A and B are shown apart, each in its own frame.
Chain A
Amino acid sequence: MHSPYMITGVLNLLAASLLLISFAMLSRRRTQRLITLFAWQGVVLFASTCLVGYRADLTELYYSAALTLLLKVIALPWILHRLIHRLGVQWDSEPLVNIPATMLVGLGLVIFAFGLAQPISRMATTITRNTIGIALAVIFLAFLMMITRRRAITQVIGFLAMENGLFFAATSATYGMPMVIELGIALDLLIGFFILGIFFFQIREQFDSLDLSNMESLKEE
């Protein structure tokens, strides 16, 4: 067998790459790139889940890994691709507020997340416990991304990224939630996503663009 250290190393590597991808998403302009990155995130998640499952030999983790592969690597990116083709927005890029500043804020968030994760990872028993901080950081970065984005679709991608972070947190902190919950979450995610898909078209036909700046009419004038 391989030494546990090696697997842990690999896991940490994967976690780090997850973080890297998040930063990359934060700075990408093109919607298409974002989708690809999102898919990659899924791949990393899949890999890490499998590894964890193998290391702690828990069969249900394989199931959830499979679920991840299906949902986040294949289904969602594919649908997203179809969507942006149908909507014809695959090439449009959006203005971003001052990328270096965002990066710095992101960095701060990462540090904060690590600090926050200390007590958690101290009590977690899993081999991947020190990656909880990273999971948290991914969540925060996704949040930041949603805040900085102006397009509906990109916000959704941010949302999905956040979901990934959560999933990663679940696996890394606790070897995943009970299967019932996993399924429920996945179901919700899927439905929600379909609803969003419908939404895009309605929004398009109403506002003839997916730019959020059109959706600021409801306010205290």
Chain B
Amino acid sequence: MAHPWMTSGIVTTVSTHGLHLLLWLTLAWLILGVFALIRIHSLPFAARLFPLGAIVCLSIALMASIMLITGSLPQVAILPLGLPNLPFHARLDTLSAFFLLLLGVSGAGISIFAGGYFRHSHGTAPGLLCLQYHIFLASMALVTLADDAYFFMVAWETMALSSYFLVTAQHRFAEVRRAGFLYLLMAHLGAICILLSFGVLQGGRWQFTFEAMRSAALSPAWASAAFLLALVGFGTKAGLVPMHVWLPEAHPAAPSPVSAMMSGLMLSTAVYGMLRIAFNLLHIRYWWWGVLILALGLFSALYGAVFAAVQTDMKRLLAYSSIENIGVIFTGIGLTILFDASHLPLFASLALSAALIHALNHSIFKSLLFLTTGSVLHATNQRSLGKLGGLIRSMPWVATLALVGTLAIAGLPPLNGFVSEWLLLQSFLYTPLIPHAFLNMLIPLGAAVLALTAALAAYVMVKFYGVIFLGQHREPSLEHAHDADWLERIGLTWLALGCLTIGVLPQLVLRAAGAVTGTLLGQTVNLGSLFGLLAPISPKQASYSGLVLLAGIFVVVGITFIVVRALAHGRIQRTAPWDCGYPWQTSRMQDTAEGFGQPIRHIFGTFFGMERELPSPDDSAPQYRIRIEDRIWGTLYQPITRNVQRLADWIGLLQGGRLPIYLLYSFLTLIALLVFVL
């Protein structure tokens, strides 16, 4: 396509050598990390490196966007590394470029923030932390660039490993260790499934480059097997229910920038992997795959939202909300497969754009929110919602930026969260065109579930923001909570601006997503003009303009304000809040997080394993305690461990300690083999 930018030389060189440049940038991260080892114990030294990493992030984002717009894709390269008969293949196409863009944009904000975040570090030495951090970034970039199974697996597991070490940075706490163990174990099992999936994909020709897999023609059974394995593998990493158990443990355990990266970036790489296999490596898609993913996605979304609503730890709450958003993304993928399988490419690309944009949005606002929790954590040393409150007065910066994130993740116009959900609902509207009697009656209910989830998300975020930043301080110490320092503010502001920009000018990202859908599905939705309406199918069908909404609200509010001031007056008297005739109220008497979750517990009681401790009426120091548990843990995972234990006990009997018995074993083996050969 002839683009004005093409004239400028840099852009052309970038777009022709994009892949190599990207690989070098990835290497730059690694070098930065190794460099940090020089003064491994000096915190300021490491802290100075993070912004440099952010610069690399920015350049990667920039290049990725250039590639998406003008790049001559795909580009391939073969690295002088890897196995002798299977060197590392790298490939840059629109899909990987899109996810690199995502990585760069959010990564930049997180890295800048990290520069200010890591302060008095206990646990892993700062230099080592810096190394692990940048290895994590680099491995995620390589995952999107890998073009053969081995390279992919290496990058993938390196990602898991580095993030594991980051999660266990404060390994002195037992629960952190437990979380880390659970995380790495699940990650590894997932990786085994992915490996198996590749094993199936190569279709018996023992070619492990993705190129070969693309051209492999699998029988329906094998294709489905590969797809299911991939679903389990990537679903585990993405935190799809019921493979999600590690997520609410691991994300809170990590330092906040790491939680942000895991939630915002790493989960997206899982989405990338799913798309890569489903739409690029597999040559065909069957409609029931779509139904399966759709069901899983919707269930995860609802499950995540409901559990997030009853959390009392702010980072756990965000972790569950990640499960919800991943569910939404996979819902989009499911719809895409459904449309694609029933040969409706336009709507398929609509759903896929929705999924991609939501992945991008999620990475931005979830990073933003996790980082704000980081600032709050630093300012108050509190993670429990029950001990926070009123921070909007002591930390206005964080509070304001967090508000942006809150509104965005709650899916409210005119911010970015709404755009993707709107697109997704739009694509739901066209499901009646799918030629399956039952499906087009059932799937609308899916839309209803999605709407319910979105509204629940709003509920959750109101709780999150209201309890942390609004109201009165639940602890006296919060009076002196200090606001974020300047690096942190820059990082947060960057991400908040991201939320706003995408919300107001969704066409920007719609173009990026369009490039992807163009390559994967051979069709793009109606992109519209950059500042015009967002009307993916046609303005007649449905249209939306965040810009108008934002501007409109501002104008009306402005006018109203002026008018009110002109006609009436601005006089104000400060008084105490209405105490309902009970003047001895303390700040502890505010509504608590548990209280806010109560309607959810009441309505969705069947989801949880709950145990309550109600105080007795004549209790001098009454205590109300409630524990919410994940049912899936007890029903699915404990039995597995129990059986392994039992099996291990049986096999353990072989090592009974009696020499004659051992001799008997070898004797019997000998006899058996002799009989065998005779």
Contact = CB atoms under 8 A, between A and B. Distances in A.
A143 B663 contact: yes
B655 A220 contact: yes
Nearest to B652: A220
Contact of B671 (A112, A148, A218, A219): A112
Interface stretch (A84-92, A165-173, A209-217): A209-217
A147 B666 CA distance: 10
B658 interface: yes
B660 A149 contact: yes
A81 interface: no
A133 to B, nearest CB: 13
A148 B660 contact: yes
Contacts of B657: 216-220
A146 B653 contact: no
Contact of B667 (A116, A143, A149, A215): A143
Interface string A44-76: 000000000000000000000000000000000
Contacts of B671: 112
B174 interface: no
Given A216-B659, A218-B657, 4 more contacts: A147-B663, A212-B659, A219-B657, A220-B652
Nearest to B663: A147
Contact of B659 (A116, A143, A144, A215): A215
A116 B674 contact: yes
B644 interface: no
Nearest to B677: A116
Nearest to A115: B678
A219 B654 CA distance: 9
Interface of B: 652-660, 663-664, 667, 671, 674, 678
A173 B678 CA distance: 19
A147 B660 CA distance: 5
A219 B651 CA distance: 12
The 4 closest A-B pairs by CB, nearest first: A219-B657, A220-B652, A216-B657, A220-B655
Contacts of B667: 143-144, 147
30 contacts: A112-B674, A115-B678, A116-B674, A116-B678, A143-B663, A144-B667, A146-B660, A146-B663, A147-B660, A147-B663, A147-B664, A147-B667, A148-B660, A149-B660, A150-B660, A155-B659, A212-B658, A212-B659, A216-B656, A216-B657, A216-B658, A216-B659, A217-B657, A219-B655, A219-B656, A220-B652, A220-B654, A220-B655, A220-B656, A220-B657
Given A112-B671, A116-B678, A147-B667, A220 B660 contact: no
Interface in A146-187: 146-150, 155
Contact of B653 (A143, A148, A150, A220): A220
Interface string A187-214: 0000000000000000000000000100
Give the secondary structure class of A's interface: helix
A150 B661 CA distance: 11
Nearest to A220: B652
A25 to B, nearest CB: 16
Nearest to B656: A219
B422 to A, nearest CB: 61
Nearest to A139: B670
Contacts of B654: 220
A4 B326 CA distance: 90
Contacts of A148: 660
A157 to B, nearest CB: 14
Nearest to A212: B659
Contacts of A115: 678
A148 B658 CA distance: 12
A109 to B, nearest CB: 8
A218 B662 CA distance: 13
Interface in A109-146: 112, 115-116, 143-144, 146
A144 B653 CA distance: 22
Contacts of A144: 667
A16 to B, nearest CB: 23
A155 B662 CA distance: 13
Nearest to A213: B658
Nearest to B658: A216
Nearest to A216: B657
Contacts of B674: 112, 116
Nearest to B678: A116
A153 to B, nearest CB: 14
A112 B675 CA distance: 9
B428 to A, nearest CB: 57
Contacts of B664: 147
A217 B656 CA distance: 9
A147 B671 CA distance: 14
Contacts of A150: 660
Contacts of B652: 220
A219 B660 CA distance: 14
Contacts of B659: 155, 212, 215-216
Nearest to B654: A220
A212 B660 CA distance: 9
A141 to B, nearest CB: 11
Contacts of B653: 220
A37 B317 CA distance: 81
Contacts of A220: 652-657
Nearest to B671: A112
Contacts of B655: 219-220
A149 B660 CA distance: 7
A108 to B, nearest CB: 10
A217 B659 CA distance: 11
Contacts of A215: 659
B642 to A, nearest CB: 18
Nearest to A150: B660
B503 to A, nearest CB: 61
Contacts of A146: 660, 663
Nearest to B668: A147
A154 to B, nearest CB: 11
Nearest to B660: A147
A198 B667 CA distance: 27
Q: Which of B656, B663, B671, B678 counts the most chain A CB atoms within 10 A?
A: B663
A146 to B, nearest CB: 5
A162 to B, nearest CB: 11
B668 to A, nearest CB: 10
B580 to A, nearest CB: 66
B386 to A, nearest CB: 46
